[in-house]
Chains A and B, each alone.
Chain A
């Protein structure tokens, strides 16, 4: 049983990502991987919750955070999840052009999110003297939020590569599962962000 790139375009089934054993394995393996990622972020959240009040005479969460910026970041990321859903729907309709378009929009939104995050970190370090070394709170903040940011950055690079492949190879039994799992990944980091927004920022503002 094997996956092959060579096919006539009309032959693609509705869910091309699950048409081959390789494709199904990839999707399953990716679900498992996300299970591990959940533990990873779970541990980071637990660490943050344990240390979030230890500001060591540095800035506290309530002093530091600005909700408008993070709310904007949240909105951008949530919308990018929606656009990646549109991309997958386009894929299921075998509409390559729309697929590429929505993926590009997703990447652009991801970049926007990253820009806001980098700006936020820069502000903290440059103007609030709040960096990795300031306190246990600062260490756990940068590690948790930074890990998420690194995931977003990885996702942006990954999806961009997939877009390039779609331009070159089109939609095939090989590219379809890749696009599909990248969308799973994107939703996952979106969900993680929702938790970060609530646990880090909203809770931080409340005290």
Chain B
């Protein structure tokens, strides 16, 4: 929209580190999410390898039982909250605005705030390793195990406070994407013309909105029990440990679908592109996604079959759980029918996508087995459950993320990942994955419990555990190959075509790779599903613009999100150590009198006030500039 006068006079443009700390550009925030997610994924991976090395043989003593508990807790927590979630957000940031033909997200400032709170929460959680012990009560942190009586270090405090801060970031991200998808779509992009990845991001964001506040409350209650002496989960004072389980899983089960839906979306983009066919059953895909999200909120108690809720509750939750297999099955067949008769190209992105389908089905099948409450009494808390959720999370989500990263890498960075290396990544990772987790089904059926530090020899566990550890190392090799690929690719010159796979169907492939900061010089007019493919089929090389060329308004960068998150981080540390007995009187003064906590909160609130009081006018990129860039 043209404006009388521009604000280019007041623009502050940073470079180098300050640029990254202050950016509100969703593409750069996507890259930040990717780096942070990759970092935590690496930490979680090292923890996983250590767990497997401890279990490689019976009666092993590589790590102590305490360290083992910390490893399994931090592995699960890190992977779920700090590893895969941010990589999902990385792809959502990098792709969703482009797919809907938008210049930006609805709330660029909040987008950046979401990233920084997530990062500082994650850092806080991981600081526990060097500040007196990591959390050790499992990623589910069941009470009473997680109360001060049985978990006396500050580990669980790092868990409750770190996850609260990180979770706030996720919630903000969810709201931002909901609003972006509702209001920022290009002309002609109706809901039923949105690409599947945008659809699944939309539904995932909605699930985040309704699931994360529940865990926030759970974490608050647990931290009040531990730090303020409250009695929510203390049976002796009338509290209820089962309450924690309900709150955790009312969040926890939707969370697993929050994770998998974006992967469904990625697969639904990659398979059509590399089959040169439109997605089979688009509207049934949309419908199945919504149904899964809906059902996902009513099955939480399938994690509590053995808690003693009674046969009626168990039966109802068992049936509701099994129902989810129906929309999931619809999706599986739609992907198969998309490939059917297509001209399939086995790029590394597509290998991961095709590999996803059978692997995820196996996880779904064990899921339905677990959903049978009587059978679950046998499976529960054994390696069978471990096998199940790794098939859906690694074989499903992580395959999907790798697929998406290979697919959109050229769009994000302007360079193609090396294809042979990508294929090596796939094969080592996929084979390693099945070696690691396939045998765990049998370990579980043979009676090996999850979360045990060692086992006695000659129970038929030895060989299977050995195989599992070898597989884990092979997966590690796969991840290293991917990292090598990233390094090799980063050294290549930038600059690939707009549509490097040549068969791109959606709007992101109609603009340069990487896109300019304003994404679309002119907002495109969308004339159907697979908007770009439609134009290509009509003989057009570009999208038809929906507006004349004009100056583009951009939001200004800001350091405030970083400052706000830093304040929360300081306040969290302050609250956590408020009951600690220090030998140093200065330390006890600043912590026990809540001074550190208050300083942190003051920093955060001061930044919020600054944000509210000083208007951000943004700046304009002028028409001449845009034309110049077009020619260059």
Determine the distance from Cα of A44 to Cα of B231 in the docked complex, in whole angstroms: 14
Type the 1/0 row for A35-52, where 1 means its CB is closer than 8 Å to any CB of B. 111011001100100110
Q: State which of B210, B221, B238 has its C-beta within 8 Å of the C-beta of A47.
A: B221
Interface: B39 (CB within 8 A) = no
Interface: B324 (CB within 8 A) = no
Interface: B609 (CB within 8 A) = yes
Interface: B617 (CB within 8 A) = yes
Q: Which of A31-83 contact B (CB under 8 A)?
A: 32-33, 35-37, 39-40, 43-44, 47, 50-51, 54-56
Interface: B228 (CB within 8 A) = yes
Cβ-defined contact, A132 with B238, below 8 A: no
With A35-B210, A165-B613 given, is the CB distance from A136 to B231 under 8 Å? yes
Cβ-defined contact, A136 with B238, below 8 A: yes
Give B216's nearest chain A residue, CB to CB: A40
Cβ-defined contact, A133 with B617, below 8 A: no
Cβ-defined contact, B618 with A2, below 8 A: yes
Interface: A140 (CB within 8 A) = yes
Chain B CB within 10 A, most for which of A28, A39, A142: A39
Interface: A1 (CB within 8 A) = yes
Cβ-defined contact, A50 with B243, below 8 A: yes
Cβ-defined contact, B553 with A1, below 8 A: yes
Q: State which of B217, B238, B250, B612 has its C-beta within 8 Å of the C-beta of A44.
A: B217
Q: How far is the CB of B235 from chain A (nearest CB, A)?
A: 9
How many chain A residues touch B (CB < 8 A): the figure is 43
Q: Which of A10-36 contact B (CB under 8 A)?
A: 21, 24-25, 28-29, 32-33, 35-36
CB contacts (< 8 Å) of B107 on chain A: these are: 25, 29
Cβ-defined contact, A135 with B613, below 8 A: no
Cβ-defined contact, B239 with A54, below 8 A: yes
Cβ-defined contact, B230 with A133, below 8 A: yes
Cβ-defined contact, A5 with B228, below 8 A: no
Interface: B232 (CB within 8 A) = yes
Determine the distance from Cα of A35 to Cα of B224 in the docked complex, in whole angstroms: 24
Cβ-defined contact, A51 with B243, below 8 A: yes
Interface: A205 (CB within 8 A) = no
Q: Which of B176-232 contact A (CB under 8 A)?
A: 176, 178-179, 182-183, 209-214, 216-218, 220-221, 224-225, 228-232
Interface: B632 (CB within 8 A) = no
Interface: B237 (CB within 8 A) = yes
Determine the distance from Cα of A140 to Cα of B217 in the docked complex, in whole angstroms: 11
Q: State which of A28, A39, A139, A161 has its C-beta within 8 Å of the C-beta of B183.
A: A28
Give A55's nearest chain B residue, CB to CB: B238
Interface: A4 (CB within 8 A) = yes
Q: State which of B106, B212, B230 has its C-beta within 8 Å of the C-beta of A36.
A: B212
Interface: B503 (CB within 8 A) = no
CB contacts (< 8 Å) of B238 on chain A: these are: 51, 54-56, 135-137
Cβ-defined contact, B183 with A21, below 8 A: yes
Cβ-defined contact, B617 with A5, below 8 A: yes
Determine the distance from Cα of A139 to Cα of B224 in the docked complex, in whole angstroms: 9
Q: How far is the CB of B173 from chain A (nearest CB, A)?
A: 12
CB contacts (< 8 Å) of A138 on chain B: these are: 231
Determine the distance from Cα of A76 to Cα of B618 in the docked complex, in whole angstroms: 41
CB contacts (< 8 Å) of A165 on chain B: these are: 612-613
CB contacts (< 8 Å) of B210 on chain A: these are: 35-36, 39
With A29-B176, A43-B213, A47-B243 given, is the CB distance from A4 to B229 under 8 Å? no
Interface: A178 (CB within 8 A) = yes
Interface: B347 (CB within 8 A) = no
Interface: B576 (CB within 8 A) = no
Q: How far is the CB of A91 from chain B (nearest CB, A)?
A: 17
CB contacts (< 8 Å) of A40 on chain B: these are: 213-214, 216-217
Interface: B491 (CB within 8 A) = no
Give A40's nearest chain B residue, CB to CB: B213
Interface: A174 (CB within 8 A) = yes
Interface: B304 (CB within 8 A) = no
Interface: B43 (CB within 8 A) = no
With A35-B210, A36-B213, A139-B232 given, is the CB distance from A54 to B237 under 8 Å? yes
CB contacts (< 8 Å) of B179 on chain A: these are: 25, 28-29, 32
Give A175's nearest chain B residue, CB to CB: B615
Q: How far is the CB of B529 from chain A (nearest CB, A)?
A: 25
Cβ-defined contact, B609 with A161, below 8 A: yes
Interface: A143 (CB within 8 A) = yes
Taking beta carbons and an 8 Å cutoff, which residues of A are in contact with B? 1-2, 4-5, 21, 24-25, 28-29, 32-33, 35-37, 39-40, 43-44, 47, 50-51, 54-56, 132-140, 142-143, 158, 161-162, 164-165, 169, 174, 178
6 pairs of residues in contact across A and B, judged by CB atoms under 8 Å: A1-B1, A2-B3, A4-B617, A39-B210, A162-B612, A165-B613
